[in-house]
Amino acid sequence: MPSAPRTLDPTELGAYLALIETTSLLRHAVDQQLQETGGLSYVQFQLLATLGDAPGGSLRMTDLADGVVYSRSGLTYQAQTLEKQGLVTRAPSVDDERSTTVTLTDAGRDRLAQVFPGHVQVIDDLLLAPLSRADVEALADVLTRTRDHMRQAPPRSAAPRRRKTAAPRSGPPAQ
């Protein structure tokens, strides 16, 4: 006999719903602040901030997509948009000519510096204000363990691409 599907108890469901609503409310406020202060979308900010934390301010597109959990095609569009604004450059990777490296420019660093104080203020006001230091430490611990668990199965953006195999040829072999 098949077992009944697992259901969430009230505490588990409440935690899940609170997390979803909290992230939605925070994301909305962050989106507004980034757009008003720096003309950036949330994803564009994530890309710039991730590059800002990377050694030399550069990452391969695949690694960048994995880091921000974004599709490769969506990332290509966002990188093109940021490149047109002079905030990043794109070039063939020196390690693998099939890959593209994205690098943060000085203008990109300036844009991050422009939006970051307001970004921190939104986080302080909305997320951190009602929490004690012990709460923040507990939240960081719980979310880090959860993120690490979820990262054990890489996001689709980081999954290896399937290689296309040549279709079998019909007819006599070429001579």
What domains can be seen in the chain, in order of their start residue? 15-152 (1.10.10.10)
pLDDT at 98: 81
pLDDT at 45: 96
pLDDT at 141: 97
pLDDT less than 50: residues of the chain: 158, 160, 163-175
pLDDT at 163: 47
C-alpha 66/C-alpha 155 separation (Å) is 7
Tell me the pTM: 0.79
Half-sphere exposure of 3 (CA within 13 A, CB side): 3
pLDDT at 162: 52
C-alpha 47/C-alpha 104 separation (Å) is 9
Instruction: From residue 49, give the alpha-carbon distance in Å to each of 67, 81, 161.
Output: 11, 16, 26
Which 3-state string (H, E, C) describes 141-163? HHHHHHHHHHCCCCCHHHCCCCC
Instruction: Reduce the DSSP state of residue 173 to 3 states and report it.
Output: coil
Strands laid side by side in the 100-104 sheet: 58-60, 100-104, 88-92
Instruction: Reduce the DSSP state of residue 121 to 3 states and report it.
Output: helix
pLDDT at 175: 42
Q: Which of 62, 136, 65 is nearest to 99 (CA)?
A: 62
**How does DSSP assign 6-56, residue by residue?**
P---HHHHHHHHHHHHHHHHHHHHHHHHHHHHHS--HHHHHHHHHHHHSGG
C-alpha 5/C-alpha 7 separation (Å) is 6
pLDDT at 68: 84
pLDDT at 156: 59
pLDDT at 65: 84
Instruction: From residue 5, give the alpha-carbon distance in Å to each of 8, 9, 12, 13, 15.
Output: 10, 13, 15, 15, 20
